[in-house]
Structure 1
Amino acid sequence: MSRILVVGSNTRAVCKSLYELGFSVYATCFFDLVDMHEYVDKLIIINSPTFNLCDLEEAALKYVDCVDYILCCSDVDVSKFPSSKIIGNKNNDDIRDKYKLYKHLHKNFLMPKTFKVNDTKEASEIVSNYPDLDFLVKPRIGSGGIGVRFFDESLNLDDDEFLLQEYVSGDSISSSFLSYSDHSITMVASSHQIIGSPSLSYRNFMYCGNITPCINHPEKLENISSKISRMCKLIGSGGVDFIIQDNKAYVIEVNGRIQGTFECIEQSYNMNMAKADIDACNDVKVSINNVENFCVKLIVYSKKMSRYNLDGIKYIHDISPKDYVFMPGEPICTIIVSDRILENAMSRVQHIQRLIYNSAY
Structure 2
Amino acid sequence: MTLNFPLNTILVAGVYTRPIVESVKKLGLNAIAVDYFGDYDLAKTADDLFSVSELKRKDKPEEATGEILFKLTQEALEVHDVDAVLLSSGMEHYPENVKRLEKRTELIGNKSSQLSFCRDKERIFDTADELGIPHPPIKLAQTTGRALRVAEDIGYPVVLKTPQGGGGIGVRLASSPEELETHFEKLAPRRGGVVYVQPYIRGVDASASVLSNGSEAKCLTVNRQIIGDERLGVPRRFGFCGNIVPLATEREYLSQIAEYSQMICSEIGLVGSNGVDFVISEDGPYLVEINPRFQNSFDLVERALNINLVEEHFLSSRGKLNIYGKPNNCHVKLIIYARQGFRTPDLTRFRNVVDIPWEDSIVERRKPICSVIKSGEDRRKTIREAYELAGKIQNFCQSREISSSPISPS
Q: Do both share a fold (TM > 0.5)?
A: yes
SS in 1 for 2:40: coil
Q: Which has the higher helix share?
A: 2
333, 345, 348: which one aligns with 1:297: 333
3, 18, 24: which one aligns with 2:9: 3
Please say if 1:90 is aligned against 2:122: no
Residues 180-329 of structure 1 aligned to structure 2 (within 5 Å): 180-181=213-214, 183-202=215-234, 203-216=236-249, 217=251, 218=253, 219-309=255-345, 310-329=347-366
Give the aligned residue type for 1:340. E
Residue 84 of structure 2 is matched in structure 1 by: 69
1:117-144 CA distance string (max 9 Å, x none): 123232122222334x311111112222
Does structure 2 conserve the Cα–Cα contact (< 8 Å) formed by 1:64 and 1:81? no
Does structure 1 conserve the Cα–Cα contact (< 8 Å) formed by 2:50 and 2:76? no
How far apart are 1:331 and its partner, in Å?
Answer: 0.3
Does structure 2 conserve the Cα–Cα contact (< 8 Å) formed by 1:271 and 1:289? no
Residues 133-212 of structure 1 aligned to structure 2 (within 5 Å): 133-151=156-174, 152=179, 153-155=181-183, 156-157=185-186, 158-159=188-189, 160-181=193-214, 183-202=215-234, 203-212=236-245
The whole-number CA distance in structure 1 between the counterparts of 2:284 and 2:290 is 17
The whole-number CA distance in structure 1 between the counterparts of 2:18 and 2:266 is 30
Residue 42 of structure 1 is matched in structure 2 by: 48
The whole-number CA distance in structure 2 between the counterparts of 1:102 and 1:141 is 17
How far apart are 1:107 and its partner, in Å?
Answer: 4.8
Please say if 1:26 is aligned against 2:14: no
Residue 154 of structure 2 is matched in structure 1 by: 130
Q: Where do 5+ consecutive residues of structure 2 fail to align?
A: 1-6, 401-410
Name the stretch that deviates more: 296-305 or 245-254: 245-254
Residue 57 of structure 1 is matched in structure 2 by: 70
How far apart are 1:311 and its partner, in Å?
Answer: 4.5
SS in 1 for 2:280: strand
How far apart are 1:103 and its partner, in Å?
Answer: 4.1
How far apart are 1:323 and its partner, in Å?
Answer: 1.2
The whole-number CA distance in structure 1 between the counterparts of 2:308 and 2:333 is 17
Residue 394 of structure 2 is matched in structure 1 by: 357
The whole-number CA distance in structure 1 between the counterparts of 2:389 and 2:336 is 10
Please say if 1:345 is aligned against 2:382: yes
The whole-number CA distance in structure 2 between the counterparts of 1:68 and 1:334 is 30
Does structure 2 conserve the Cα–Cα contact (< 8 Å) formed by 1:313 and 1:355? no
SS in 2 for 1:36: helix
TM-score by length of 2: 0.83
Give the aligned residue type for 2:339. K
How far apart are 1:351 and its partner, in Å?
Answer: 1.4
The whole-number CA distance in structure 2 between the counterparts of 1:104 and 1:268 is 31
Does structure 2 conserve the Cα–Cα contact (< 8 Å) formed by 1:269 and 1:293? no
How far apart are 1:345 and its partner, in Å?
Answer: 1.1
Give the aligned residue type for 2:222. S
Please say if 1:110 is aligned against 2:138: no
Q: Where do 5+ consecutive residues of structure 1 fail to align?
A: none
Residue 17 of structure 1 is matched in structure 2 by: 23
How far apart are 1:215 and its partner, in Å?
Answer: 2.3
The whole-number CA distance in structure 2 between the counterparts of 1:292 and 1:251 is 26
How far apart are 1:285 and its partner, in Å?
Answer: 2.6
Does structure 1 conserve the Cα–Cα contact (< 8 Å) formed by 2:127 and 2:264? no
Q: CA distance change for structure 1 residues 126 and 21 in 2, over 3 Å: closer, same or farther?
A: same
The whole-number CA distance in structure 2 between the counterparts of 1:187 and 1:273 is 13
Please say if 1:80 is aligned against 2:113: no
Paired-residue identity, %: 26
Give the aligned residue type for 2:268. C
1:227-263 CA distance string (max 9 Å, x none): 1012211111112100111242211011221111110
The whole-number CA distance in structure 2 between the counterparts of 1:134 and 1:106 is 23
Does structure 2 conserve the Cα–Cα contact (< 8 Å) formed by 1:73 and 1:258? yes
Does structure 2 conserve the Cα–Cα contact (< 8 Å) formed by 1:186 and 1:286? no
How far apart are 1:225 and its partner, in Å?
Answer: 1.3
SS in 2 for 1:244: strand
